[in-house]
Amino acid sequence: MRAGVILGLASALLAQSPPDPALDPATVLAKARGKVSDRMENLPNYTCVETVVRQYLKRQKPPYPLRPFSCDQLSGEKHRGGYKLELESTDRLRLDVKVSNGLEIGSWAGASQFDQRSILDLTGGPFGTGQLGQFSDMFSNESASFRYIGSADGHYEYAFHVPENTSHYLTKAGKDWVATSYEGTFWVDLGSFDVVRLSVQSSQLSEESTACEATSTTDYHNVHIGKEEFLIPRQNVLHFLMKDSRETENVSTYTACHEFTSESTVRFDAGPEPAPSVPKALIPPLAIPAGLPFTLALATPIHADTAAAGDEIRETFSKAVLDPKSSQVLIPAKAAVHARIVRMQYWPGAPHRFVIGVLLETVDVGGVSSPLYARPEPFKMPEKKPAGFATRGTPIALTPPNQPKNVGTFVFFTHASHGYIVPAGFESKWLTAPPPAQ
């Protein structure tokens, strides 16, 4: 019976037509590289909305007593499945990312212009760029090596390696950027010869880096930008193994991608078109003395399940702000304030809490929008403690040690992991501040 099965399979194989030479692995790889090269030459400047959900993970049972870890030890334990992880916290970011000549710059979503700071300084924490720049440098690098792995589900899979001395895979090491070798796999669709998935594994990172290794998987799809169709990322998963034994995972999705021109206004909401702006030179800045207290009320609720750092929020002045010398109204009550969430983090462990950081940007007075410089009002112990003001076991959450002074941090303790809403009308107290030094 067994021999009959083998003979039957052999006869069927002999009866098949000879393989298509166009699908020879070397030919497919060459066509894929040609398509990538052509598209990189013709890729227009474009921008996408990038939404990033970051998970910060720690060991369920950290080793005791605590001791320094080597990257070799951590990597070995990780790949052997020697420990289990639990979620420590999450945060969410929403950015506008612009690609120009293969380079990425970014800003908070919906900002009027792209930020002059590095996108890594803007986001803070573990972050990666380069996904929108198309396939790193593996196809244009003469030192890269390739190996055919196999076929499945209408695609060929290849492995590749790029040595350190010609690599453009850069990681932050202290204040410097250091190149590292990397390797991985990618899938080529046999119908279109497009690269539809790319997985990258870094080598062990430098001693100055806070991470031991990084892995990344990007899924691509075709999107119309301008008059043509281009292959751009749909989703990227970036995983870091940190030297303190923690791990982080960033899941980035890309939406609303379109061609960017110098006349473009970066705007992705469905609201009305903004009115023509008055040249800045004709708008006198709103002169407000520093040190004046004021209270803001949230105009619209913040939904913790969907809100992200980068989202714009609206607030209003609860009371008018008066000039302390003349009693003249500087800012009327109900004046609209444009603010931005710059931190949106959830801590599932006790004490369960959402942490929201807010930066005030502008205030509308008399039809003119002016910068609003302010910082959160310092907490003052009341002369007489109200009932229930402080009891043993009351949870306390400190602001991040390196947080800018003009960012207000608000902590909401709750046992609800989903569905939490900061209601409209929530009030926060601030002090006016002098403009930053030029």
Write the burial class of residue 169 (CB in 10 Å: 0-12 exposed, 13-18 middle, 19+ buried).
buried
pLDDT in the model for residue 69: 77
- Concatenate the DSSP letters of all residues of 218-279 into one string: EEEEEEEETTEEEEEEEEEEEEEEETTS-EEEEEEEEEEEEE--TT-----SSSPPPPPPPP
Q: Which residue's structure tokens are 């209601």?
A: 423
Q: What distance in Å separates the CA atoms of residue 343 and residue 215, rounded to the nearest whole number? A: 25
Over residues 111-128, the mean pLDDT reads 77
pLDDT in the model for residue 382: 54
- Mean pLDDT is lowest, of 151-160, 171-180, 320-329, for 171-180
Q: Assign 14 a pLDDT band (cuts: 50, 70, 90).
A: very low
Report CA dihedral (28, 33, 36, 42) to the nearest 10 degrees. Answer: -120
Q: How far is CA 285 from CA 288, 292, 336, 362, 365, in A?
A: 9, 17, 16, 11, 11
pLDDT for 122 beyond 90: no
Over residues 337-346, the mean pLDDT reads 95
134: left (phi over 0), alpha (psi -120 to 50) or beta: left
Over residues 280-307, the mean pLDDT reads 84
pLDDT in the model for residue 283: 55
pLDDT in the model for residue 417: 82
- Percent of the chain's residues with pLDDT above 70: 79
Contact 49, 212 (CB under 8 A): no
- Mean pLDDT is lowest, of 56-70, 306-320, 323-337, for 56-70
pLDDT for 374 beyond 50: yes
Q: Assign 134 a pLDDT band (cuts: 50, 70, 90).
A: low
pLDDT for 281 beyond 60: no
pLDDT for 15 beyond 70: no
Over residues 134-140, the mean pLDDT reads 69
Strands 145-152 and 103-108: unpaired
Contact 294, 430 (CB under 8 A): yes
- Percent of the chain's residues with pLDDT above 90: 44
pLDDT for 279 beyond 60: no
Q: Which residue has the higher pLDDT, 233 or 42?
A: 233
pTM: 0.81
Contact 97, 120 (CB under 8 A): no
81: left (phi over 0), alpha (psi -120 to 50) or beta: left
pLDDT for 200 beyond 70: yes
Q: What distance in Å separates the CA atoms of residue 98 and residue 166, rounded to the nearest whole number? A: 26
- Which residue, 279, 218, 275, is CA-closest to 250? 218
pLDDT for 320 beyond 60: yes
Both tokens assigned to 21: 């030479």
pLDDT in the model for residue 102: 61
pLDDT in the model for residue 421: 94
- Chain segment 378-404, per-residue pLDDT in tens: 866 555 655 555 556 656 556 666 678
pLDDT in the model for residue 396: 59
pLDDT in the model for residue 73: 86
Contact 64, 245 (CB under 8 A): no
Contact 100, 87 (CB under 8 A): no
Contact 333, 342 (CB under 8 A): no
- Highest mean pLDDT, choosing among 257-266, 327-336, 348-357, 408-417: 327-336
Q: Assign 171 a pLDDT band (cuts: 50, 70, 90).
A: confident
Task: Give Cα 374 to chain centroid, integer Å.
Answer: 26
Q: What distance in Å separates the CA atoms of residue 170 and residue 130, rounded to the nearest whole number? A: 10
Over residues 319-336, the mean pLDDT reads 94
Contact 67, 30 (CB under 8 A): no
- Which residue, 129, 131, 135, is CA-closest to 171? 129
Give the domains, in start order, of the chain with CATH numbers. 20-259 (2.50.20), 285-382+393-432 (2.40.128)
Contact 407, 356 (CB under 8 A): no
Over residues 266-271, the mean pLDDT reads 35
- Chain segment 49-107, per-residue pLDDT in tens: 999 999 999 998 876 666 667 888 888 888 888 889 999 999 999 999 887 666 678 88
pLDDT for 127 beyond 60: yes
Q: Assign 113 a pLDDT band (cuts: 50, 70, 90).
A: confident
Q: Which residue has the higher pLDDT, 157 or 19?
A: 157
Q: Assign 9 a pLDDT band (cuts: 50, 70, 90).
A: very low
pLDDT for 1 beyond 60: no
Q: Which residue's structure tokens are 């010609």?
A: 166
* Mean pLDDT computed over every residue of the chain: 82
Determine phi and psi for 109, rounding to 5 degrees: -60, 135
